[in-house]
Structure formats: structure tokens, C-alpha cells
A = this chain, B = another copy of it.
Amino acid sequence: MTTIHPVILCGGSGTRLWPVSSAALPKPFLPLVSDETLFEQAVRRVAQDDRFAPPMVVAGAAHADMIIQQLHDAPGARLVIEPGAKNTAPAIALAAALLPADAVMLVCPSDHHIADAAAFRAAAFAAAELARDDYLVSFGIAPDRPETGYGYLQRGEALAQGFAIRRFVEKPELARAQEYLASGEYSWNGGIFAFRAGHLLAELAAHRPDMARLVAQAVAGGRNDGARFYPAPAPFAAIAGESIDYAVMENTARAAMVPAAMGWSDIGSWAALADALTDGADAAGNVTRGAADLDGCSGVLAITDSLRISAVGLTDVCIIVSGGEVLVTTREGAQRVGKLPGATNQ
């Protein structure tokens, strides 16, 4: 049985969930879908099974104390403090360099929602088997709509525990997304990965030698402080930030995927959150948090931390009152919330 080493990434600013999320309190650390925060859920998903080692969390210094608090009692957990935000490839490489070379790591974003934790774990165990055989494994999320906001994976030949990846596809136009959905060959690239640590570093050295060298220097020059590890800032600052997809996954000959149907959402906008909350919706599909009176509304998400919301006649609108701001957006418009003056001038 392969032990899985969870690596939980806490980057990302989440401005599309403004005004609730902010630079100081970004999306992972908010109780968006339940009473637990998305980070707490991410930790708990890999905490209830002894096939998982204690988690390693990679985050910025600004959120370290919040992470310690939200880890609660997680013996053996480690925290890697990134000296700067460099996208996912350097963060994952830091973790890989701090693990034994033969450790199988499971890279999990901390700001996603997964409704079916058992399905997640089953996919993780399948991915771990592939990773042990030196595949670089991505979770392929079963799509349920022609989403244009995600990248896609096309399945190739069948492997013992999954499939080879034939190709990676950037966020498509709607017509293309509809073709992908109809074909049954495509999955969403959910940003969840399994690697053998040493293999990931070898592939990084092959495809991004500068990054691999600078990460190694940052780790070699870093220091431990209790459960925290501080990489050396100078070499880390010299890294050209890049996603793990660009840096490694799209270049390797060993890309594989495991299918995962687990009620996944990246909670990438208020519309996505509304979708994730449909279990708590009324008969007309409305979801409220805090004081809200709705009359003749359907598909409305109304969340307030203070003033009462009264809404009449609205369809598919999100109303958010938080932190002294009032946001009202259509579901379609929700993707543009991060560009609002309020979200960009925090």
C-alpha cells in the first residue's frame, strides 16, 4: 500500500469572491460551503485515513498564522512558507524537494470544494499507484456542462489505474466545450496531481532546469523553525513563476489521469458558489445566509454579514453584503467581479 503525502497549496487571491474574500482573508480560509473553511475541508479530506501521511502546506507568510489556527490538531503537519508567489510549479517543487525521493505526493489546492470525499480518496489511491510507476498524474474531473472557464484533458490509452493523457487543452470557446462534453473523451483539469517526488524533480530538471536549480538552492539554503520551513528568499525570488501544467505536465511523456466524479467545484465565482450550495436551496433554487427576505426570486444567492437583504423578482442573481460593501451580480457577470474597483483597490 502506497502512503500518500498530501501537499496542500494555499496560493491564489480569490478576488472573484470579493467582497467576502480579500488579500488578507482569501478564499481558502473562508467557510464558504459549510461551517468549515475550504482549507479545513481540504485538510480533513486527507486526515481520516491512515494511508495519508500528515499534510505539508505551502503558503505565503501572510497566511501562516491563520493556517496554523485552521490546522487545529494535525500532528506532524508541516508548513512551507513561500518567500513570494510564483505560481504552482515552484510551490510543488519546494514540497517535492522536502519529501523523500520515493514519497508519493498528492497536490491539492486548498480553495476547491469536493462534495464526495470518498470518491476523492478513491481517485487519490488510484493516482498514487500510477505515480509510484512514475506517471505524472492529473485528476480528470468528469464535466457536467460545457464550461469555458477550465482547461481540459483528453484521454488517451487505458492504463492499469487510469488513462494516459493524449493532450492538454486551454480554456475553450463554448462551441468547442460543447464538443468536448459530447465526445465523452475530455475531463476538466482540476489542478489536483499525484507525483513521485523524485520523479517530479527529475522531470522539472529536464524541462525547466533553471527552476529546478533555483528551487534546490532555496531548499538547501532554507531553515526550519519548528514545523515551519523557510526557503532561502534570494534563489526563490529569481525563479520565473509558472504553473505545473506549463512547466511539466504539458512537456512530459508520462502524463496520466485518473477520472474523478466527486462533486468538484473550484468555487471560482459567486455563481460557482451558488451551484455548490444547491443542497441548501429552497424550491426555487434560492440560497440565503444571514437576514434575507426574497419575494418571487429564483436561483438567487443572498449572503449578508450585516444589513438585511430584501429582493424581489430576481432570477440568477448573487447579492453579497460583506465588509461594508454591497455586490449585486448576474451569474454570467460573476466572472468579472474580480475586475471591479472594489476588488482591485483593496
Stretch at the interface among A59-67, A237-245, A326-334: A326-334
* Proximity bits, A296-322, B CB within 8 Å = 1, else 0: 100000001001111111100101010
A336: Cβ under 8 A from any B Cβ: yes
- Whether A328 touches B310, Cβ cut-off 8 Å, given contacts A295-B339, A336-B295, A340-B293, is yes
Contact B330–A312 (Cβ < 8 Å): yes
- Whether A329 touches B342, Cβ cut-off 8 Å, given contacts A307-B321, A307-B324, is no
Contact A334–B310 (Cβ < 8 Å): no
- Whether A307 touches B307, Cβ cut-off 8 Å, given contacts A293-B342, A319-B326, A319-B328, is yes
**Which 6 residue pairs are nearest across A and B when measured between Cβ atoms?**
A313-B333, A312-B333, A313-B330, A312-B329, A311-B328, A310-B340
- Whether A330 touches B310, Cβ cut-off 8 Å, given contacts A293-B342, A295-B339, is no
B-chain residues with CB within 8 Å of residue A307 when the two chains form the complex: 307, 321, 324-326
- Whether A312 touches B326, Cβ cut-off 8 Å, given contacts A293-B341, A307-B307, A340-B293, is no
Q: Which of A304, A328, A342 has the most CB of B within 10 A?
A: A328
Chain A: interface size category: 20 to 34
Considering only CB atoms, which chain B residue lies closest to A340 in the complex? B310
Q: Which of A19, A326, A337, A342 has the most CB of B within 10 A?
A: A326
> A311 contacts which of B293, B324, B329 (Cβ < 8 Å)?
B329
Considering only CB atoms, which chain B residue lies closest to A316 in the complex? B313
Number of copies: 2
B-chain residues with CB within 8 Å of residue A314 when the two chains form the complex: 317, 328-330, 333
B-chain residues with CB within 8 Å of residue A343 when the two chains form the complex: 310
Binding site for B on A (CB under 8 A): 19, 293, 295-296, 304, 307-314, 317, 319, 321, 324-330, 332-334, 336-337, 339-343
B-chain residues with CB within 8 Å of residue A327 when the two chains form the complex: 310-312
Q: In the complex, how many angstroms separate the beta carbon of A24 from the nearest chain B beta carbon?
A: 18
Q: In the complex, how many angstroms separate the beta carbon of A324 from the nearest chain B beta carbon?
A: 6
Sampled A-B contacts (22; CB under 8 Å): A293-B342, A295-B333, A295-B336, A295-B340, A296-B333, A304-B326, A307-B321, A307-B324, A308-B342, A309-B328, A310-B326, A310-B327, A310-B328, A310-B329, A310-B341, A312-B333, A312-B340, A313-B330, A314-B317, A319-B328, A321-B326, A328-B328
Q: In the complex, how many angstroms separate the beta carbon of A226 from the nearest chain B beta carbon?
A: 42
18 extra A-B contacts, CB within 8 A, seeds A293-B340, A311-B327, A313-B332:
A293-B341, A295-B333, A304-B326, A307-B321, A307-B324, A310-B325, A310-B327, A310-B337, A310-B343, A311-B329, A312-B328, A313-B336, A314-B328, A314-B333, A317-B317, A317-B328, A319-B328, A326-B326
